[in-house]
C-alpha cells in the first residue's frame, strides 16, 4: 500500500516521547520535517529518541518500507554518536530517514532486527566500526573485522 | 577409533540418527565468487544452517573516505564493485554534485548513461559466465567474455582502463567521447541481439538449466523487502523496483525502457530478469546515442570543493541492485563520513534464511543467482 | 653409404633437471585463487582472446594439492592472511608464487598511515617469485609474468623481449 | 603343460605385471623426479583441504543411508559387466543371434535391479 507524506507525518507525530536528559543534540526533541529531495536525496526526515527507534521501524514496516542502511556517524565534537536509518519504498519514490543520537560514552540503543531481519547485518557492522551496542541483537560479534578484533576503526579518536 | 563428538539428534522420522557436520565452504572456493566463507551445518547433503562469514576482503573504503579530499576518493569508488564501476562512480559524483549544487551539462549526462548501461551489460556477462560455471557448464564463460571484451575495448578507448574506470568527474566527465566510440557502440548494439538470441536458444532453453533452476531458492517479495534485497533479486520476486524508474536520476526519464520482472521468485526468475535487462540496456544505449546533444562535457566546479555541512545521499541502480552513497560533510574539503550502501551486502543477508533445508548443489545455484561480488559486501 | 650424419643437430643431450624444468615451465597449473579486481583480469587472461593456454597455464586447479603456481590476484587483508598462508603450506613442493597487482605487491591503493586491515605486500607471508605490477594489470602483463616465471625455471626466454623504442 | 598353455600363462602374467607397473610406477617416478628440498616449514601437505581454513571436525562420520543404496545399484551392474567379459571372447562362434538373445536376457534380468531400486524410492533422493 502506498503511504503519502501526510500519513507519515501524522504517524510519526505520536512519537513525541520524553527527552533523554544527557543528550543535547541540536535537532532535538522529536523534529519531523519534509525535505526537498533534489537537495538532500530523501523526502522525509525524523529525529527520534533512541528508545523510539523500534516503534519508528514498526510504523515504517506497516507502511511497506524496506530497510536500506544503518549508518553510524561519530560526532566527537558534541561527544555524541548519531545512528541514521535509511528506508526505501519498493513502489513509490519516497525515502525516509530516521536518525537518533546516543551519548558517546555509553552508545546503546535497541535493535530493530525483530522488525527488519536485514538490520541484523547492518547493526553488526555499525557495532564493528563504532562500538555502538545494539541491545537485544542476537550476535554482536566482530563481523567485517577479524574475530578477535576489539578496536573500532571508524571512531574519530581511533589510533591504529 | 571413531570418536563420537556431540550427541546426535534423532533423525526427522525418529529412526537411526544421522550425524550433522560442519562443512566449511571457505574463502578459496570456485563457487564463492571471491573470498566468501559459508559455514554450513549439514545433515548428509541437506543444509540445516548456512551462515555466511564475511570480512576476508575488507579494504577500508569507508575509512579511506574520511582522510581523502572529495576528488581523491574517486579511484576508490571503482574498486568497490569492479564489475559495475561506472555506476558506483556515478553515485558518488551525483551525491557531491547534489550537495554542492554543481550543474552537469546534458552531453555529460547522456554519456554517463551510455557508459553505465555498457558497464551493466559487461557485468551481467561475467555473472552469466560465472553462474553457469557454478552449474557445471564451462563453455558459456568463453562466449560471455568474448562479448565483454568488445565492451572493454570501447570503454578503454575513452577512459584508458579495462575494469576500474575513473571516468566521471564532479560536474561532468574527464574527457569527451570520440567518433569511433560512437560507431563502435552502434556496431556493438547491432552485434549483441543475435548473440543474446543464441544464448537464449543454447542455454536459457536448455532443459538441464531449466531443471536446475526452476523452483530453486524461492525468495518471496516480503523477504526481499524485510532484508532490503534489491535489483534483480527483488525483480525476480515480482516487484518492479528499479531506481532508474522509481527514483529517477540523471537523464533516465528521457528514455522509454521496460523493467523486466518475473513473479516466480525462484532462481530461474532472477536469471531471466538479468537476461532481459541486457536487452533493455541495449535499447537505452540506442536511444541515448540518437539523442546525444553536442556541447561541453565539464561544468563549472570550484577549485577546492567544500560542501555545505549536512548529509546528502544519492542512489543509483547498479548491476546488482540499489547502490546508495550517504555523505556527511562538516564544511571542510574532506568528507566527515562516507557510507556506501552496497546491494550485495543486503542480497546476501537473506541467504541464511533462504537456504535452510536445501541440498548443497541447489544452495550454490541460488548463490549464483544472487550475483555476488565479495569486495562489494566487505567494502 | 651416405656421409656420417651429424647427430648433434638432431639429438641434444640435456641434464635431467633441464628436461624437468622445461616440462614444469610449460605446464604451470595455477591455483584458482581470485581475491578481487585482479581475479577478473586473471579470468579474462584465461579466456579466448588472451588465451593463457598458449603457455600451458590455463588449467586452474581449485585444490592446492594439484596446483603448482599460486597467483595472488587481489588484496590480502589481515583476516585472510592465515588462510593464504595455509594454502601456501598445503601446496606440494615444486610450487611458485606470483603476486599479481599492486595490492599483492605492496598493499596498493589501500596503504595510508593508520590503515588497519590490509597486509602490505604478500612477501611478508611467504617468498614470492614473480611480481606483476598494475591495478589491475592488463592480461598481457599477466602473460608476461608467466613468461618471466618460465624464464626463471628454464633460463631461456621463449619470446623476444619487446624492445622500447629509444 | 603344452606350450599353448604356457603362452597363455605368459600373456596373463605380462598383463598382471603391466597392471602392477601402472599402479606403482608413479610412486617410483615421483620419488626419482620430485625436488628434494622443500620450503615448507610446517608440514601441512598431508592435511585435509578445506578451502583455506583449518578443517572443522572429522571426516569419518555417518551419512544418511541413501548413498549406500545408490552404491548397491552400482555394484550390481559392475558384477553384470564382469560376467560379460568372458562372453565377449566366444561371442558369435556358433550363431551370433543365439548369443545376442542370451545376452539380452542376461542383461534384462539384471536390470531388474533398477526397477526394484526405483520402486523403493532410491532415486527420489529424499532424506532417509
Q: Candidates 1.10.10.10, 1.10.645.10, 3.40.47.10, 3.50.50.60; correct CATH number of B61-378? A: 1.10.645.10
CA-based nearest residue in chain B for residue A142: B55
pLDDT for residue A30: 52
| Host H or E run for residue C102 | helix C102-106
pLDDT for residue B118: 95
Give B-chain residues touching D70 at CB under 8 angstroms: none
B187 CB-near residues (< 8 Å, 6+ apart): none
pLDDT for residue C1: 47
* Interface ipTM: 0.86
- Sorting pLDDT into bands at 50, 70 and 90, what band is A19? very low
State the residue range of the domain holding A32. 5-106
Q: Does C34 touch chain D (CB under 8 A)?
A: no
pLDDT for residue A78: 87
Q: Does A160 touch chain B (CB under 8 A)?
A: no
Q: Do the chains contact at C80 and B27, CB–CB below 8 Å?
A: yes
Q: Do the chains contact at B44 and D127, CB–CB below 8 Å?
A: yes
Give A-chain residues touching C117 at CB under 8 angstroms: 145, 153
Residues of chain B with pLDDT under 50: 1-7
pLDDT for residue A117: 92
Residues of chain D with pLDDT under 50: none
Question: Cα-Cα-Cα-Cα dihedral of B313, B319, B322, B328, to 10°?
Answer: -20
For chain B, which residues make up each domain, given as ranges?
4-53, 61-378
Give B-chain residues touching D51 at CB under 8 angstroms: 24-29, 32, 37
Q: Do the chains contact at A145 and C117, CB–CB below 8 Å?
A: yes
Q: Does residue C18 surpass a pLDDT of 80?
A: yes
Could you read off the pLDDT of C56-98 as tens digits, one per residue?
898 888 888 899 899 999 999 999 999 999 999 888 888 899 9
Across residues A91-103, what is the average pLDDT?
Answer: 88
> Can you give the C-alpha Rg of chain B in angstroms?
22
Is A119 inside any structural domain?
A: no
In DSSP terms, which residues pair with A87 in a beta bridge? A67, A96
Give B-chain residues touching D124 at CB under 8 angstroms: none
D16 CB-near residues (< 8 Å, 6+ apart): none
pLDDT for residue B140: 93
Q: What is each CA distance from B211 to B370, B371, D70, in whole angstroms? A: 18, 19, 21
- Residue B341 backbone phi and psi in degrees, to 5: -90, 105
Is A126 inside any structural domain?
A: no
Task: Encode B318-353: b = buried (16+ Cβ within 10 Å), e = exposed.
Answer: bbbbbbbbbbbbeeeebbbbbbbbbbbbbbbbbbbe
SS3 content of chain D, % helix, strand, coil (to 5): 60, 0, 35
pLDDT for residue B129: 94
CATH for A68: 3.30.460.80
Is A32 inside any structural domain?
A: yes
CA distance A65 to A147: 33
C1 CB-near residues (< 8 Å, 6+ apart): none
Q: Sort strands B168-169 and C96-100 into parallel, antiparallel or unpaired.
A: unpaired
Q: Do the chains contact at D33 and C16, CB–CB below 8 Å?
A: yes
Instruction: Let me know if chains D and A touch, i.e. at least 3 Cβ pairs under 8 angstroms.
Output: no
Sequence-ordered strand ranges (E) for chain B? 20-25, 37-43, 46-53, 168-169, 172-173, 310-318, 321-329, 337-341
Q: Do the chains contact at A66 and B228, CB–CB below 8 Å?
A: yes
Could you read off the pLDDT of B35-84 as tens digits, one per residue?
999 999 988 788 999 999 999 999 999 999 999 999 999 999 999 999 99
Task: Encode C38-63: b = buried (16+ Cβ within 10 Å), e = exposed.
Answer: bbbbbbbbbbeebebeebbbeebbbe
Length of chain C in terms of residues written: 166
Other beta carbons within 10 angstroms of residue D83's beta carbon come to 11
pLDDT for residue C76: 93
Q: What is each CA distance from B3 to A95, B41, B239, B367, D61, in whole angstroms? A: 56, 19, 51, 34, 9
Q: What is each CA distance from A35 to B143, B335, B339, in whole angstroms? A: 48, 22, 20
Is A158 inside any structural domain?
A: no
| Host H or E run for residue A33 | strand A31-34
DSSP A19: P
Q: Do the chains contact at B58 and C109, CB–CB below 8 Å?
A: no
> Can you give the C-alpha Rg of chain A in angstroms?
16
Residues 98-137 in A contacting B (C-alpha not used; CB under 8 Å)? 116-118, 120-121, 129
Q: Which of D128, A140, D51 minimizes the C-alpha distance to B40?
A: D51
CA distance B29 to D11: 47
Count how many domains chain A has.
1
CA distance D67 to D62: 11
Amino acid at each position: 500500500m502506498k503511504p503519502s507524506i501526510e500519513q507519515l507525518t501524522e504517524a510519526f507525530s505520536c512519537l513525541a516521547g520524553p527527552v533523554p536528559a544527557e543528550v543535547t543534540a541540536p535537532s532535538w526533541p522529536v523534529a519531523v520535517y519534509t525535505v526537498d529531495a533534489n537537495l538532500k536525496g530523501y523526502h522525509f526526515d525524523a529525529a527520534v529518541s533512541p528508545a523510539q527507534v523500534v516503534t519508528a521501524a514498526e510504523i515504517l514496516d506497516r507502511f511497506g518500507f524496506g530497510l536500506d542502511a544503518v549508518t553510524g556517524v561519530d560526532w566527537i565534537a558534541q561527544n555524541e554518536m548519531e545512528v541514521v536509518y535509511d528506508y526505501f519504498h519498493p513502489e513509490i519514490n519516497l525515502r525516509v530517514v530516521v536518525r537518533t543520537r546516543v551519548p558517546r560514552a555509553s552508545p546503546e540503543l535497541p535493535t530493530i532486527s525483530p522488525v527488519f531481519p536485514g538490520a541484523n547485518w547492518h547493526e553488526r557492522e555499525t557495532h564493528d566500526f563504532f562500538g555502538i551496542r545494539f541491545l537485544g541483537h542476537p550476535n554482536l560479534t566482530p563481523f567485517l573485522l577479524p574475530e578477535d578484533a576489539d578496536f573500532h576503526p571508524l571512531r574519530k579518536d581511533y589510533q591504529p | 577409533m571413531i570418536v563420537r563428538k556431540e550427541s546426535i539428534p534423532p533423525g526427522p522420522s525418529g529412526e537411526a540418527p544421522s550425524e550433522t557436520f560442519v562443512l566449511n565452504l571457505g574463502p578459496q572456493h570456485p563457487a564463492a565468487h571471491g573470498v566468501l566463507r559459508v559455514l554450513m551445518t549439514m545433515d548428509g547433503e541437506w543444509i540445516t544452517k548456512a551462515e555466511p562469514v564475511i570480512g576476508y576482503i575488507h579494504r577500508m573504503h569507508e575509512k579511506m573516505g574520511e582522510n581523502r579530499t572529495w576528488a581523491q576518493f574517486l579511484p576508490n569508488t571503482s574498486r568497490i564493485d569492479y564489475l559495475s564501476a561506472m555506476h558506483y562512480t556515478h553515485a558518488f559524483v551525483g551525491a557531491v554534485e547534489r550537495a554542492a549544487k554543481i550543474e552537469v551539462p546534458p552531453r555529460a549526462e547522456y554519456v554517463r548513461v551510455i557508459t553505465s548501461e555498457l558497464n551493466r551489460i559487461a557485468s551481467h556477462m561475467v555473472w552469466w559466465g560465472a553462474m553457469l560455471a557454478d552449474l557445471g557448464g564451462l563453455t558459456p564463460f568463453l562466449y560471455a567474455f568474448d562479448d565483454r571484451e568488445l565492451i572493454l575495448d570501447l570503454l578503454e578507448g575513452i577512459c584508458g582502463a579495462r575494469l576500474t574506470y575513473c571516468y566521471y568527474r564532479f560536474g561532468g566527465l574527464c574527457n569527451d567521447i570520440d567518433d569511433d566510440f560512437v560507431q563502435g557502440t552502434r556496431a556493438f548494439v547491432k552485434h549483441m541481439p543475435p548473440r543474446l538470441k543464441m544464448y537464449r536458444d543454447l542455454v536459457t532453453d536448455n532443459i538441464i538449466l531449466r531443471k536446475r533452476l526452476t523452483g530453486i531458492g524461492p525468495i518471496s517479495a516480503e523477504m526481499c523487502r524485510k532484508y532490503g534485497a534489491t535489483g534483480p533479486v527483488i525483480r525476480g520476486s515480482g516487484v518492479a523496483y528499479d531506481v532508474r524508474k522509481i527514483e529517477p536520476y540523471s537523464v533516465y526519464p528521457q528514455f522509454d525502457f521496460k523493467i523486466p520482472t518475473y513473479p516466480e521468485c525462484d532462481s530461474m526468475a532472477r536469471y531471466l530478469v538479468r537476461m532481459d535487462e541486457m536487452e533493455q540496456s541495449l535499447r537505452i544505449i540506442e536511444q541515448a546515442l540518437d539523442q546525444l546533444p553536442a556541447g561541453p562535457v565539464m561544468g563549472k566546479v570550484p577549485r577546492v570543493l567544500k560542501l555545505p555541512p549536512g548529509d546528502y545521499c544519492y542512489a543509483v541502480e547498479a548491476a546488482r541492485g540499489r547502490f546508495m552513497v550517504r555523505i556527511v560533510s562538516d564544511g571542510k574539503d574532506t568528507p566527515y563520513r562516507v557510507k556506501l550502501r552496497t546491494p550485495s551486502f543486503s542480497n546476501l543477508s537473506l541467504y541464511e534464511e533462504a537456504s535452510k533445508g536445501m541440498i548443497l548443489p541447489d544452495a550454490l545455484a541460488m548463490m549464483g543467482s544472487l550475483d555476488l561480488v565479495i569486495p562489494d559486501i566487505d567494502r | 653409404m651416405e656421409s656420417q650424419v651429424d647427430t648433434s643437430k638432431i639429438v641434444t643431450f640435456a641434464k635431467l633437471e633441464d628436461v624437468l624444468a622445461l616440462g614444469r615451465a610449460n605446464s604451470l597449473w595455477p591455483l584458482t585463487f581470485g581475491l578481487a579486481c585482479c581475479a577478473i583480469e586473471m579470468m579474462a587472461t584465461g579466456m579466448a582472446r588472451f588465451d593463457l593456454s598458449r603457455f600451458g597455464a590455463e588449467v586452474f586447479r581449485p585444490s592446492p594439492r594439484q596446483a603448482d603456481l599460486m597467483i595472488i590476484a587481489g588484496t590480502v587483508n589481515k583476516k585472510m592472511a592465515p588462510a593464504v598462508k595455509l594454502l601456501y603450506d598445503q601446496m606440494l613442493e615444486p610450487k611458485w608464487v606470483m603476486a599479481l597487482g599492486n595490492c599483492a605487491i605492496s598493499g596498493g591503493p589501500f596503504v595510508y598511515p593508520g590503515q588497519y586491515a590490509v597486509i602490505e605486500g604478500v612477501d611478508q607471508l611467504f617468498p614470492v617469485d614473480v611480481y606483476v605490477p598494475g591495478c589491475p594489470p592488463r592480461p598481457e602483463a599477466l602473460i608476461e609474468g608467466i613468461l618471466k616465471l618460465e624464464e626463471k625455471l628454464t633460463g631461456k626466454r621463449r619470446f623476444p623481449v619487446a624492445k622500447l623504442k629509444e | 603343460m603344452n606350450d599353448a598353455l604356457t603362452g597363455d600363462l605368459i600373456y596373463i602374467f605380462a598383463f598382471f605385471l603391466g597392471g602392477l607397473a601402472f599402479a606403482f610406477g608413479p610412486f617410483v617416478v615421483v620419488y626419482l623426479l620430485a625436488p628434494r628440498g622443500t620450503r615448507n616449514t610446517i608440514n601441512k601437505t598431508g592435511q585435509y583441504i578445506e578451502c583455506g581454513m583449518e578443517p572443522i571436525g572429522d571426516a569419518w562420520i555417518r551419512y544418511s543411508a541413501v548413498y549406500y543404496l545408490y552404491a548397491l545399484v552400482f555394484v550390481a551392474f559392475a558384477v553384470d559387466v564382469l560376467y560379460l567379459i568372458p562372453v565377449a571372447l566366444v561371442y558369435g562362434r556358433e550363431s551370433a543371434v543365439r548369443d545376442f538373445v542370451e545376452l539380452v536376457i542376461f542383461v534384462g534380468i539384471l536390470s531388474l535391479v533398477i526397477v526394484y531400486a526405483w520402486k523403493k524410492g532410491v532415486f527420489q533422493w529424499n532424506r532417509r
